[in-house]
Structure 1
């Protein structure tokens, strides 16, 4: 029995290492090969193919892995139980961990075209939508919550690029996101007619 438990733990660690490596590799190069992924995960190609026979299998599993992590973070923050701006700050800080994955997930057709995958993420999506609904009036009255959410995703995407390219540190991207969301890029500028 102990041998089976150890084998299961080893398999789980190997699978997790492959998925974590896939997120990093595909975030840098969405066309990376299975060989590139095996090297990054520190496993042989035969091991990689034993866990994920096809590239599409590892792409979808890595996307689910990221979404499950984001879901766990969102549940831990529990944005509905906090004042909107505090929850927004915590969500931004926590979700910066996923900025490289946002780059990849937002452009990966295998992920975008998989309704079952997005259905699994619907509870988290509802919590995030609720937060933006509550925060919308505090950020800029009149802007639709859906717009603010899209801006936030674009900022996470940009943060991922800036960190990946070495242009900004994580702390700088966090500050830039908050500043952009709360003050805009032209603070004090009169609204356009």
Structure 2
């Protein structure tokens, strides 16, 4: 990995309205526009588009990973901060979906760029040719965990974690990529299918948990009389 790719991202302090904040916003706006045009831009391309020197751009965005991370953060800001108001676990996940999933459509080019860079880095890393920090996605993990939290007691840790991983396949840009690219589905159809999958996954997890709990209860009931008989035999 090159020295340049190991540099630390420099961001303006929160609330900074000075030159650093303006430069950062200028670079970010350029990156957002380039991505909307179908690019996964290098830092040099962002600098050129923003009319900023490369040296300055690299102080804010040392590599493509930091560029795309900033683009995703800007695109999904309201999504990351969303907290469902419902109390029921399934209702909370449905609320999260209905209120935030359309954001992936609104910023589809930006989400696709993040997916593309992630896949590119995976391929390069596998053969030892990755020369910049690997871009990793994962914002949806905490979002889904918070939304589905009330379901954990009913599901148990293992099944709850399994449900979160299954939901993470549905909640993101991936349904748009698969259903639009392969099936030529409309945006509305993508949302309807994703919502149907979400409901089916939660319902299946709850059914399995209920069945497992019922089986365990029946096993305990069967064991109790056997234990009582053994105890009676020992006392006679």
Q: TM-score, normalising length from structure 1? A: 0.55
- SS at the partner of 1:52? helix
Structure 2 residue 145 is matched with structure 1 residue 126: no
- Kindly report which structure 2 residues correspond to 1:55-94, keeping only aligned pairs within 5 A, or say none: 57-69=62-74, 72-79=77-84, 81=86, 83-84=91-92, 85-94=94-103
Aligned partners of 2:30 and 2:46 also within 8 Å = yes
Distance (whole Å) between structure 1 residues aligned to residue 179 and residue 85 of structure 2: 25
Distance (whole Å) between structure 2 residues aligned to residue 160 and residue 104 of structure 1: 16
Q: Which residue of 1 aligns with 2:191?
A: 178
Distance (whole Å) between structure 1 residues aligned to residue 33 and residue 178 of structure 2: 16
Q: Which residue of 2 aligns with 1:15?
A: 24
Q: Which runs of 4+ in 1 moved over 6 A?
A: 110-113, 132-135
What is the CA-CA distance between 1:24 and the residue it aligns to?
3.9
Distance (whole Å) between structure 1 residues aligned to residue 96 and residue 35 of structure 2: 30
What is the CA-CA distance between 1:116 and the residue it aligns to?
8.9
Structure 2 residue 168 is matched with structure 1 residue 155: no
Aligned partners of 2:32 and 2:110 also within 8 Å = yes
Across the two proteins, how many residue pairs are aligned to each other? Answer: 155
Distance (whole Å) between structure 2 residues aligned to residue 71 and residue 34 of structure 1: 21
1:117-147 Cα distance to aligned partner (Å, 9 max, x none): 65xx66x521224446879xxxxxxx94423
User: Which has more radius of gyration?
Assistant: 2
Unaligned 5+ residue runs, structure 1?
Answer: 1-6, 136-142, 162-166, 185-193
Distance (whole Å) between structure 1 residues aligned to residue 179 and residue 18 of structure 2: 34
Structure 1 pair 8/51, CA: closer, same or farther in 2 (3 Å)? farther
What is the CA-CA distance between 1:34 and the residue it aligns to?
5.1
- SS at the partner of 2:101? helix
Say what the alpha-carbon RMSD is for the aligned residues: 4.3
